[in-house]
Structure 1
Amino acid sequence: MSKRLQGIITPIIAVLLGIIVGTIIMLVSGYNPISAYNALWNGAFGEVYYFGEVVRQVTPYILAGLAVAFAFRVGLFNIGVEGQFIVGWLAAVWVGTSFDLPKIIHLPLAIIAATVAGALWAYIPGLLKARLRVHEVIVTIMLNYTALHVSNYLIKNVLTNHKDRTGMIKESASLRSDWLQSITDYSRLHWGIIIAVICCFIMWFLLERTTKGFELRAVGFNQDAAQYAGMNVNRTIILSMVISGAFAGLAGAMDGLGTFGYVTVKSGFTGVGFDGIAIALLGGNTALGVFFSAILFGALKVGALNMPLEAGVPNELVDIIIALIVFFVASSYIIRVVLNRFGKKDVK
């Protein structure tokens, strides 16, 4: 069996195994899995409002998944997408609330601010990794907490007068659309989904169709061989982290300029950055895979809200199913061994 076919089948099997084990857990817990999954489907696609909310949820998921996947492709593990997401959100709202500009200038400026904020936040672990060989996992984990608490301080002491929430961004900086909301029964759907899809294409084109992308992938495969071939490994590491952080910061802009239109003091992490890790793993660290993986996760997250209402099933079971899917994806080596054995039998 070809590696390409394995790459497609493995995540599908992981999803199916996660659903099967989740079904067994529901049965053991005394819940009806058929009613639960029916409620999950209805909560995601049963009404046009729910569909709009799924697309809205998918938007930052795509970008967070791309952020993790891009770093993975260069051999780096960016655990700091959550922190980069937070600083991107903060930067977008700061620009969105602080200036009075025409929309054609204000909205792009807010988006660029979020992208630059995420990129700069990711530059720190990239620089430390390239120059001092400090492991990026340790640095990015610490920077997540730094981003959380620094953003909380800035919200209370700079953006507001000791308040826990900023004001709404100016309409000229908003991604919201009355037309999109009206056709989805006034969901929170916004134009950010277009930006997310464009970013999928950008990642694919950059990695698969450019010389710089070849260099990035070469460093990911083998840093020593890339160095021997004359590639600047240190510069490539920094660049990959900056691009990864840019995607994450842009994901924050989707919530700051689209879903909410403000930023609040947070008692904990949003979870979007950490979900991005699972999305990238399930999507095989490819742009197309991340796109479909984000749709699955978005549908599960939004549909889960309907499970307690319609089927009396706690929506935490969806988190268990997602965790199981990630577990089976992480255990994909076992799935590949089984697929290879079946493939050899077919050849015989």
Structure 2
Amino acid sequence: MTGSENTAPESRSARVLREIASGGVALTVLSVILAFVIGGILIAATDPTVQQTAGYFFARPTDMLSAVWQSVSGAYASLFRGGVYDFTAPDFQGGIVSLLSSLNYATPLIAAGLGIAIGFRTGVFNIGGQGQMLIGATAAGWVGFALPLPAGIHLIVAIIAGLLGGMVWAGIVGLLKARTGAHEVIVTIMMNYIALYLLQFLLHTPVLRAPGSQNPQTPAEKPTALLFSVFGPNYDLSFGFVLVVAATIGCWWLLSRSSLGFKLRAVGENPRAARVAGINVNRTIVYAMALSGLLVGLAGVYQVLGQNTTGFGSDIDAGIGFNAITVTLLGRSRPWGVFAAGIVFGILQAGSNTMQVAQGVDIDIVTVIQSIIVLFIAAPPLVRAIFRLPAPGSRPRAARSKKVAEAK
């Protein structure tokens, strides 16, 4: 009997993940609204005009209120222009560039978020997105610049290599957890460091380092291995976005319509009950981690074949492996929820640059908003307390009073 077969009823991390995933759409929307309200307060508090008018607020309060409105509305209008649609552009083609940029930012977040969501739904806390992305990117990137293959076939082989790289790297974690009972949080953290230092080592060897280069960077990817633009050069949307749409549909079908998805969800809900029902829990955990790493590897593929095509270094993950956890929490570990959350974060990322240029608002405000969203998502009772919402399963006070009266 293996280590995980002797595991206690349910780990605390699995219980927390289940509680977060069981939150409703209303709580998610309210969490986002609260985050933007707090972000607006921070924007106003750091605006020089607001600070100046605050000095004589009691003499002319309308000056400060007007400055607050102009500061906050101007910042969020710039965020909208940079992330959704630029209404100042002369034509539709120029206006829609903002949304296409947001979708390109969102693509790796959605891919990695889907992978982490599969782990969460199985009760496995996969925080090894960074390492899985680095290995996936390394495998796809090496195929992309080192192998002379025909167009079409080259791209397919590079994508498959990246997917397999991420799958194997995460599958090791699943195997260790299933066979030895090792905690996936500790193992994934260690695997992140191993992947990072392995990539740094390879970048200082002829395996990955560009010939004649003094910097630890790979050669440029061959044109035959690049993710092409879906709508042509006028509308710059990478084919990677099409891949994550297909991945979202596949994850939805897997978790909602397939027998393997039922096993994944059953193990995530209650591993002991799943074991009693005849489900091989150990094997299911390995499958979950392998699928999780495969999708996170897709994010790495996009980074080297769609974004950084002139060569990449050890920073190719760009923090996406950890940001994807935030996207997964916001999406409640549901495939379409993760898809929507990834687009929201893509809009924030693309729009923050315009907000900083147009309004002088510090770009870190967007990071604060994202962090506050996670805070409220991870603490549903706090959101319910702020908006005085009833707890799940509780009855309204009037209904309880009526029932008590009838009992008397």
Deviation at 1:345, TM superposition (A): 5.3
Q: Does 1:168 align with 2:216?
A: no
Structure 2's unaligned 5+ residue stretches are 1-19, 49-70, 87-94, 403-408
The 1-side partners of 2:297 and 2:348 are apart by 24
State whether residues 119 and 245 of structure 1, in contact with CA within 8 Å, keep that contact through their aligned partners in structure 2: yes
The 2-side partners of 1:38 and 1:310 are apart by 10
Structure number with larger C-alpha Rg: 2
Q: Does 1:15 align with 2:32?
A: yes
- Matched with 2:11 is none
Q: Structure 1 counterpart of 2:105, which letter?
A: Q
Q: Which moved more, 1:31-40 or 1:57-66?
A: 31-40
- Matched with 1:279 is 327
Distance 1:194 1:346, change over 3 A: farther
The 2-side partners of 1:151 and 1:103 are apart by 27
TM-score normalised per structure 1: 0.92
State whether residues 165 and 262 of structure 1, in contact with CA within 8 Å, keep that contact through their aligned partners in structure 2: no
Distance 1:104 1:30, change over 3 A: closer
TM-score normalised per structure 2: 0.79
Q: Which moved more, 1:235-244 or 1:149-158?
A: 149-158
State whether residues 69 and 280 of structure 1, in contact with CA within 8 Å, keep that contact through their aligned partners in structure 2: yes
The 2-side partners of 1:112 and 1:269 are apart by 18
Q: Does 1:201 align with 2:249?
A: yes
- After superposition, the CA RMSD in angstroms is 2.1
Deviations 1:127-165 (A, max 9, x none): 111111111011111111211121122123112246422
Q: Does 1:260 align with 2:308?
A: yes
Distance 1:94 1:281, change over 3 A: same
Q: Structure 2 counterpart of 1:180, which letter?
A: F
Structure 1's unaligned 5+ residue stretches are none
- Matched with 1:339 is 389
The 2-side partners of 1:4 and 1:246 are apart by 22
- Matched with 2:156 is 108
Residue-pair matches, total: 342
Q: Structure 2 counterpart of 1:258, which letter?
A: G
Give 1 or 2: higher helix fraction: 1
- Matched with 1:303 is 351
State whether residues 144 and 155 of structure 2, in contact with CA within 8 Å, keep that contact through their aligned partners in structure 1: yes
The 2-side partners of 1:263 and 1:88 are apart by 15
Deviation at 1:39, TM superposition (A): 1.2
Q: Structure 1 counterpart of 2:327, which letter?
A: I
The 2-side partners of 1:151 and 1:333 are apart by 42
Counterpart among 43, 50, 58 of residue 98 in structure 2: 50
Q: Does 1:238 align with 2:238?
A: no
The 2-side partners of 1:302 and 1:183 are apart by 18
Q: Structure 2 counterpart of 1:195, which letter?
A: L
Q: Does 1:248 align with 2:296?
A: yes
Give structure 1 regions of 4+ aligned residues with deviation exceeding 6 angstroms.
none
Q: Structure 1 counterpart of 2:197, which letter?
A: H
Distance 1:37 1:102, change over 3 A: same
Deviations 1:269-290 (A, max 9, x none): 6210111000000001000100
The 2-side partners of 1:4 and 1:55 are apart by 24
State whether residues 141 and 221 of structure 2, in contact with CA within 8 Å, keep that contact through their aligned partners in structure 1: yes
The 2-side partners of 1:20 and 1:52 are apart by 26
Counterpart among 73, 79, 88 of residue 40 in structure 1: 79
Q: Which moved more, 1:315-324 or 1:46-55?
A: 46-55
